[in-house]
Amino acid sequence: MTLLSGAERRRRWSEEERARILTAISELGAVIAEVARREDVCTSLVFKWRREMRQAAEAASSGFAPVVIEPAPMTPSSAASSNCSVSPVIEVELKEARVRIHADAPSSAITAALKALRS
């Protein structure tokens, strides 16, 4: 049991203590209520910390991917046909895979290709 004295009536948990408790509840076979009881923490507070950790992880991972714009290299065939119109291309690299999408590609094909890359 923790005795709180003074004007402050709430217990403060350091980031290290929170991380240790969250690690304990993520172990295989761990029961959140048992870990909370053992660490003298309210179960709802442990759930709140876990939710905040997941939201922070999602926010960090759902950011925008960096975009690099490079001029297309001039090959002999493209230099000879420089008067022809060339459609713009978007190149996406994910998980060691590279996909080039032409601007005139149907949106359904683009969506299918990007979903396949994400999985």
How confident is the model at residue 100, as a pLDDT?
A: 80
Helical H segments across 40-94, by residue range: 43-61, 76-80
Spell out the domain ranges in the chain.
15-61, 76-118
The predicted pLDDT at position 119 comes to 67
Mean pLDDT across the chain:
77
Tokens of 41: 């923490």
- Helix or strand run (H / E) with residue 17: helix 15-25
Rg of the chain taking only CA atoms, in angstroms: 26
Query: What is the reported pLDDT for 6?
Result: 60
- Flag whether pLDDT at 93 surpasses 70: yes
User: What pLDDT does 50 receive?
Assistant: 92
Maximum mean pLDDT: which of 50-54, 64-68, 69-73:
50-54
